[in-house]
Structure 1
């Protein structure tokens, strides 16, 4: 099993208040997590589900 490569969102705030989101592509899904709690819950979405998620976040 290869390690998951997490990327921090370019929209995350580096100002010290900890508003950071990370994304990883894990095969057929995209996973989203809070970078302050890397061992905590993760949201896993299909390709289509991720597109819908991003559309709603942008709105």
Structure 2
């Protein structure tokens, strides 16, 4: 299976240059990678891990 990556349409707005790409066409996991460095690897998260990461992001845990 070929992994199909997609980038948020918001990544084109504002010239921020900070975006992730996501692939959901893989069995049982969501893949996440840095769109600026796609060859650097990716995270593979199950549904529970992805939900936990999203909660932490929304709570501002990773805000700089």
TM-score (normalised: structure 2): 0.73
Q: Which has the larger radius of gyration?
A: 2
Please report how far the alpha carbon of residue 50 of structure 1 lies from its aligned counterpart in structure 2 after TM superposition: 0.5
- Where does residue 34 of structure 1 map in the other structure? 34
Unaligned segments of structure 2, at least 5 residues? 60-64
Q: CA RMSD for the aligned pairs?
A: 1.6
Higher strand share: 1
TM-score (normalised: structure 1): 0.78
Offset from partner CA, 1:3-59 (integer Å, 9 cap, x none):
1111113443541x4211111122111111001111112111111110111111111
Unaligned segments of structure 1, at least 5 residues? none
Aligned length: 57
